[in-house]
Amino acid sequence: MSCAYLIHEKRSLATVKRRYFKQHGGLLLFEEMKSKQGVSFTLFTREELEEATGKFDERNVLGKGGNGTVYKGTLKDSRTVAIKKCKLIDERQKKEFGKEMLILSQINHRNIVKLFGCCLEVEVPMLVYEFIPNGTLYQLIHHHHGHGGLRVSFATRLKIAHESAEALAYLHSWASPPIIHGDVKSPNILIDDNYTVKVSDFGASTMAPTDEAQFVTFVQGTCGYLDPEYMQTCKLTDRSDVYSFGVVLLELLTSRKALNLQATEGEEKNLSSCFLLAASARRLDEILDAQIVNEESIEPIEQVAGLAKQCLEMNSEKRPSMREVAEELGRLRKLLHHHPWGQKSSEEMHGLLVGSPTTSTYSDIEHSNAYVSLDDSAYLGVQSPR
């Protein structure tokens, strides 16, 4: 009787695994992988990932966010990986899961974190990514910068901005079908030893529809980065990513957080609104990071700030594409490297920043209130701040 019970339980478990595998799109993945050559994608078992993480020991948690919990793990082949346990998903997402994972498995870009595979034989899918050990852009700017800590030059910030834009431009323009990231923010931009960017966390991503926009039943995103037009219309487009990237540019320029929860009454909590107010009042010198202003000529800083302003346009049709943003940042990097602007005197630099009638390039910037939603962020392949 005991043997019969154990056999029954084993068969029941196998049945449950097959059901989860099928509903998460595993059969579709198998068929596609057989029909396409060169797709590097692994379907992991639950046992493999439990062994890699010490049965999902809390000591291996890298971060917790709106889309799931991320664990550090070591596979049998000694590869260190980041394993993300997704939160519960609805029926529509279950049907799309296999298709989206197949697309992400085919993404091969130097500035996008590599997806090694997934586990589908569980109730909630688990994703396995390459592990990036050296933190996020958020940590670099807000935890390590200033107060005698790490100094990040303007050239390095421009490099990070350019590579991030290149990754998003690839998703929008060259992936087939195009992919909208859906949650562009500094915690989702990983940085390696050489300050090379790895865009991560595709938990809110979606495949761009052919009509260039799709309606959503609920809005996903992160506080301080959400596109106001997306909030109003429930239409998610590639220009929604552009708006969020504009906020990232502001973080790089100001070393301030996208949302300042410590702001006093009467102060702007939202960085984008604070930036636009300061620009319209010709007080940009009060918001830009003093470090880059002191080390660099003001012209390239002004041009990046102007590009950020374009990304933050309330009307999405007036925003540039990510491809155009990447091209402009690439152009500025080349100018900075090959033809460095001459250093200005402190008086001349101050005049440029406060916006004298003949030099200001920000007098036409209007105040705008960016919508703020509530969500938390997930770190992928990095230690959570302590």
Q: Starting at the edge strand that comes first in sequence, how are the strands of the sheet with 68-74 ordered?
A: 42-43, 115-119, 126-130, 80-86, 68-74, 61-65
* 183 a catalytic residue: yes
8-state DSSP, 55: T
CB 103 within 8 A of CB 29: no
**What residues contact residue 218 under an 8 Å CB cut-off, 6+ apart?**
none
- 177 preceded by a cis bond (ω within 30 of 0): yes
**What residues contact residue 148 under an 8 Å CB cut-off, 6+ apart?**
none
For residues 262-286, one letter each, b for 16 or more C-beta atoms within 10 angstroms of the residue's C-beta and e for the rest, the string is eeeeeebbbbbbbbbbbbbebebbe
179 bridge partner residues:
207
Length of the chain: 386
SS3 content of the chain, % helix, strand, coil (to 5): 45, 15, 40
Q: 247, 225, 150: which is closest to 195 by C-alpha?
A: 150
Lookup: tokens for 70: 């991320």
Q: 134, 145, 235: which is closest to 182 by C-alpha?
A: 235
CB 118 within 8 A of CB 43: yes
**What residues contact residue 149 under an 8 Å CB cut-off, 6+ apart?**
none
11 membership: H or E segment, kind and range: helix 2-23
CB 329 within 8 A of CB 245: no
d(CA 266, CA 260): 12
80-86 and 126-130: which strand pairing? antiparallel
Catalytic-role residue among 77, 183, 193, 201: 183
Q: Which residues are catalytic?
A: 183
